[in-house]
């Protein structure tokens, strides 16, 4: 250990390498700040070159490395062992360039999502990726997990918003592909290897991200709906009628809506509790406020007339839009209502969502130790989140719950992870979403790019 620390210290400032008690002052997840980090050392590089030199040293010493960003990962991707070195990207937090003409922004891996959004807005542009952890999540982690969020319906996953990447391989080699080209068909699209690979194939250090023109209008509403079939009808109806400007379509089951709009939650319910089977938040971003408002309102009235919805409340101001969406974005009231919590983000074919999800919920409640089940999600892209409240955190109970949630997915072509990744918590269930041949190909890629298994070891496979 001494020789390793001395070698690491040779390429990074003394105050940016932490050992001993200084390591224990840190943590591995933002929700578990009371649990000290368990690692050999923490290094805080400021440049890609420093990352490269650090990784070369770790490679020579056969030293495993775990990557830390905003620590919002929900699948154990930032968990460590005492034998691992942590590379934290909090010092690599520079927005290097906003290019309004190319409509791109170039950032270091440690830049927080919300800062990217604000920098784009200053130039009349929008970085459309958006989710509740935007004030903490860092772009390197976001890209490495291919995060989703609230606007996937219109703008796609993170993968669709990455134009170029700079990556450090397991031997310290720097692969720099920071082009601003939307079209580049010159061989393999190498950046796609690293997007969603959870830091197991390479370390993302910088990225060029795609921006779009900022919308001139934003309109939201909350609808109460009686059946899932009508939820799907409303999605198709609104998406067609808004001609591509429907940005979000989020669904909450009744218990979820209730806990998110009941004290200690600080949002009052725009629609009454327990009156509807599904509560749907819709959001449209357009180019002309007056016309967009009229079009949206006319569609809502038609939806009521055609019995697609039972009730609709439009947001009448920017502050009310924020209030409506704070219901969906702030999951803290759900988590706080549970003694112990287990979370899921599964993916299902849209027509099967209600049948499968409601069956899972029913089976979960048959477990005596399960006290609460909250369901919500991005229906338009087939992603349902489940928050399960339980009486204890025993491993046997955790596995029983996992089996109930994951097992039905295989027969309907679903996925155990829609947007959170695999990490360490889901890898034993990967076979339910991937064939043996696919998993073997993943292993071949891992062995080719990281033959010593030094980058985020034990994650995914």
On whether the CB atoms of residues 313 and 222 are closer than 8 A, the answer is: yes
> Domains plus CATH for the chain?
2-88 (3.30.43.10), 95-213 (3.30.465.10), 217-329 (3.30.70.2190), 338-444 (3.30.70.2740)
Where residue 34 falls among pLDDT bands split at 50, 70, 90? confident
Average pLDDT over residues 431-449: 97
- 437 pLDDT higher than 80: yes
- 2 pLDDT higher than 90: no
Take residue 67 and report the two structure tokens written for it.
Answer: 């990557």
- 51 pLDDT higher than 80: yes
Q: CA nearest 39: which of 89, 110, 88?
A: 88
Express each pLDDT in 256-295 by its tens digit: 999 999 999 999 999 999 999 999 999 999 998 889 999 9
Instruction: Quote the pLDDT of residue 14.
Output: 86
Average pLDDT over residues 225-253: 96
- 31 pLDDT higher than 90: no
Express each pLDDT in 299-328 by its tens digit: 999 999 999 999 999 998 999 999 999 999
On whether the CB atoms of residues 329 and 240 are closer than 8 A, the answer is: no
Q: In angstroms, rounded to a whole number, what is the distance separating the alpha carbons of residues 281 and 251?
A: 6
Q: CA nearest 249: which of 224, 279, 281, 217?
A: 281
Average pLDDT over residues 206-210: 98
- pTM score, whole prediction: 0.94
Instruction: Quote the pLDDT of residue 313.
Output: 96
Instruction: Quote the pLDDT of residue 449.
Output: 98
Judge if the upstream peptide bond of residue 264 is cis by omega within 30 degrees of 0.
yes
């Amino acid at each position: 250990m001494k020789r390793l620390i001395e070698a690491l210290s040779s390429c990074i400032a003394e105050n940016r390498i932490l050992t001993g008690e200084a390591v224990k002052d840190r943590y591995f997840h933002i929700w578990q700040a009371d649990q000290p980090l368990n690692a050999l050392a923490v290094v805080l590089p400021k440049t890609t070159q420093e990352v490269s030199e650090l990784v070369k040293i770790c490679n020579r010493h056969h030293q495993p490395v775990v990557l830390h960003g905003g620590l919002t990962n929900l699948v154990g991707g930032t968990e460590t062992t005492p034998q691992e070195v942590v590379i934290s990207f909090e010092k690599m937090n520079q927005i290097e360039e906003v290019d309004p003409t190319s409509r791109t922004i170039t950032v270091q891996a440690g830049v927080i999502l919300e800062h990217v959004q604000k920098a784009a807005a200053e130039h009349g542009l929008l970085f459309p990726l958006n989710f509740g952890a935007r004030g903490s999540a860092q772009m390197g982690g976001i890209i490495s997990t291919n995060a989703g969020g609230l606007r996937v319906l219109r703008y796609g996953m993170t993968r669709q918003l990455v134009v170029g990447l700079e990556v450090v391989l397991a031997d310290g080699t720097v692969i720099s592909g920071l082009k601003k080209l939307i079209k580049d068909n010159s061989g393999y699209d190498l950046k796609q290897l690293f997007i969603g690979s959870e830091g197991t194939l390479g370390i993302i250090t910088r990225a060029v991200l795609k921006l779009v023109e900022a919308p001139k209008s934003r309109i939201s509403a909350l609808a109460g709906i009686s059946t899932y079939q009508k939820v799907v009808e409303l999605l198709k109806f609104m998406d067609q009628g808004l001609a591509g400007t429907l940005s979000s379509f989020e669904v909450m089951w009744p218990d979820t809506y209730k806990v998110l709009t009941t004290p200690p939650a600080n949002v009052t319910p725009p629609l009454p509790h327990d009156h509807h089977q599904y509560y749907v938040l819709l959001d449209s971003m357009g180019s002309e406020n007056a016309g967009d408002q009229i079009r949206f309102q006319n569609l809502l009235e038609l939806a009521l007339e055609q019995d697609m919805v039972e009730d609709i409340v439009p947001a009448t101001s920017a502050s009310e839009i924020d209030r409506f969406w704070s219901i969906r974005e702030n999951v803290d009231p759900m988590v706080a209502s549970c003694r112990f919590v287990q979370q899921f983000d599964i993916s299902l074919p849209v027509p099967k969502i209600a049948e499968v999800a409601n069956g899972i919920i029913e089976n979960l409640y048959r477990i005596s130790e399960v006290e609460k089940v909250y369901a919500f999600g991005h229906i338009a892209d087939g992603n349902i989140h489940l928050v399960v409240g339980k009486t204890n955190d025993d491993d046997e109970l955790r596995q029983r719950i996992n089996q109930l949630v994951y097992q039905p997915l295989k027969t309907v072509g679903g996925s155990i992870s829609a947007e959170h990744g695999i990490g360490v918590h889901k890898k034993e269930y990967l076979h339910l979403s991937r064939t043996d041949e696919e998993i073997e190909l993943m292993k071949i890629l891992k062995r080719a790019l990281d033959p010593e298994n030094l980058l985020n070891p034990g994650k995914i496979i």
